[in-house]
Amino acid sequence: MDLTTRYLGLELRNPLVAGAGPLTGELDNIRRLEDAGVGAVVLPSVFEEQIEQEQHLIDEFTTAGVDSYAEALSYFPAQTVYAMDPERYVDLVQRAVKAVDIPVVASLNGVTDQGWINYARRIEEAGASAIELNIYFIPSDLALSGREVEQRYLDVLKAVKETVTCPVAVKIGPYFSAIGHMALQLDEAGADGLVLFNRFYEPDIDLARLALVSDLELSRPYEIRLPLLWIGILSGRIKASLAASTGVDSINEVVKYLLAGADVIMTTSSLLRHGIGHVGQILAGLESWLAARDLETLQTIRGRMSHRNIADPTAFERANYIKVLQDYAIGGRRAD
């Protein structure tokens, strides 16, 4: 059975990608993920704040008496266990590229088009097959218009594209008033792929301590709905590859994303929940799903249920909303 897939112009043996997360930050896991069968790995992110911080430290050592970096140091948790310092990150990319034959995608995480972008070149020189650019931006400044926010995404992408020649995927969240148009603009600005979607970790409030708390819950399959909708709408309508990210736990979500039109399907939570061996189960499940329908390649199902290909595309839109409400009412589940 042929599961080969093109993503960002790269040839992958299959569409299952180990998404950015803590597992892919360890060389041993990267090797195990390759052995388990993934088509590619995305390393955890290195953050703009870390890169800037390191640059300030270098400036401090080379510019005696200047103490201007103190503030920069305070806005990133320096003792973070998760995030890797930029030097170690380059080292990880180099070692990973040497250790495995599958594509290694490095992840840059930032929101400005400033000096930190030069670091992308180091990642490319370290041998990364591609860069995933995670733009995790919360526009809390009420003066910022939607247009300005969109421009920021485009500026960051353009700056990275001008710095490297390897393919660049952009990982975005779903909170735009016109996701389709944003996707189109990123496509036109040279994004080789879009990763849909970033999962935002909104803070909660601890009522006992009256403090904001941050935590992280692994995703659940019901969360595929939003990326599924937008992958379905975008499929076949932009040049950039489409990567689905969020909610994969089993073969079911993988097949649904393929039917909607995803080129690759990323999973982070399922591997943390079930272990690296889960990769084998998903891939075996995908092969049996196709075999049970006498299908030899993924081309026969990819995008088959996209907005462009289904008989009634309004099912992706308002009609679905009205139908859902109607079904609920007819089902007699009203409060009375």
Ligand X SMILES: Cc1cc2nc3c(=O)[nH]c(=O)nc-3n(C[C@H](O)[C@H](O)[C@H](O)COP(=O)(O)O)c2cc1C
| Site for ligand X, rule CB under 6 A | 19-22, 44-45, 107, 109, 134, 171, 198-199, 216, 218-219, 245-248, 267-269
Q: Burial of 234 by CB count in 10 Å (0-12 exposed, 13-18 middle, 19+ buried)?
A: buried
In the block, tokens 């594209």 appear at: 161
Q: Name the minimum Å distance from CB 317 to ligand X.
A: 25
Peptide bond into 197 cis (omega under 30): yes
Cβ closer to ligand X: 84 or 100? 84
Cβ closer to ligand X: 280 or 299? 280
Q: Please state whether beta strands 211-213 and 204-206 pair in parallel, antiparallel, or not at all (unpaired).
A: antiparallel
Inter-CA distances, 195 with 42, 52, 257, 265, Å: 11, 25, 12, 9
H or E stretch at 255? helix 251-260
Inter-CA distances, 226 with 4, 59, 82, 325, Å: 26, 44, 28, 18
In the block, tokens 């088509």 appear at: 39
Cβ closer to ligand X: 100 or 196? 196
Cβ closer to ligand X: 5 or 107? 107
Q: Name the minimum Å distance from CB 171 to ligand X.
A: 5
Q: Name the minimum Å distance from CB 192 to ligand X.
A: 16
Cβ closer to ligand X: 126 or 282? 282
Q: Rounded distance, CA 180 to CA 185, Å?
A: 9
Q: Name the minimum Å distance from CB 210 to ligand X.
A: 27
Cβ closer to ligand X: 39 or 247? 247
Q: Name the minimum Å distance from CB 211 to ligand X.
A: 22
Q: Name the minimum Å distance from CB 104 to ligand X.
A: 14
Residue 1 forms beta bridges with which residues? Answer: none
Q: Which residues contact 3 (CB under 8 A, 6 or more apart)?
A: 13, 14, 15, 39, 283, 286, 287, 297, 298
Question: Mapping DSSP to helix (H, G, I), strand (E, B) and coil, where does residue 254 land?
Answer: helix
Q: Name the minimum Å distance from CB 265 to ligand X.
A: 9
Question: Mapping DSSP to helix (H, G, I), strand (E, B) and coil, where does residue 198 land?
Answer: coil
Cβ closer to ligand X: 18 or 159? 18
Q: Rounded distance, CA 249 to CA 281, Å?
A: 11
Q: Name the minimum Å distance from CB 69 to ligand X.
A: 24
Query: Using DSSP, how many helices (H) and how many strands (E) does the chain show?
Result: 12, 12
Cβ closer to ligand X: 5 or 24? 24
